[in-house]
Amino acid sequence: MGVAIAIGVYVAWSRGILPPAFHGAAAAAALFFCPPYILTIAVGPMADAQLMAAVTVFSIVSGNGFLYAGVAAGGYYVTKLIMKRKHA
């Protein structure tokens, strides 16, 4: 889920639908669901624009994927604790 959200946010940003983070309500919403989206502020004109875009995409997608995986693991742990207490 985190990877899908991050890819959607990246595609919207790369096509100009979303401005960089902190520049509007839509960007704030994207930042809420995809915190690594904050990296879009750091991306500017560079000599190796393609390389920088690839590094940024990988960072945003993998960061959001790991974030959602951690939240899911924490939710699973809490659910197992609650279920264990109910059965005891």
Q: Where are the domains of the chain?
A: 2-87
* Confidence (pTM): 0.67
- Exposure of 18 in the CB half-sphere (CA atoms within 13 A): 24
| pLDDT by position in tens, the chain (length 88) | 788 888 888 888 878 888 777 778 888 888 888 888 777 777 755 556 778 778 888 888 888 888 889 999 999 999 999 998 887 6
CA dihedral 66→71→77→80, nearest 10 degrees, is -120
The angle formed by the CA atoms of residues 39, 19 and 36, to the nearest 5 degrees, is 25
Q: Which residues have C-beta within 8 Å of that of residue 67, sequence separation ≥ 6?
A: 2, 35, 36
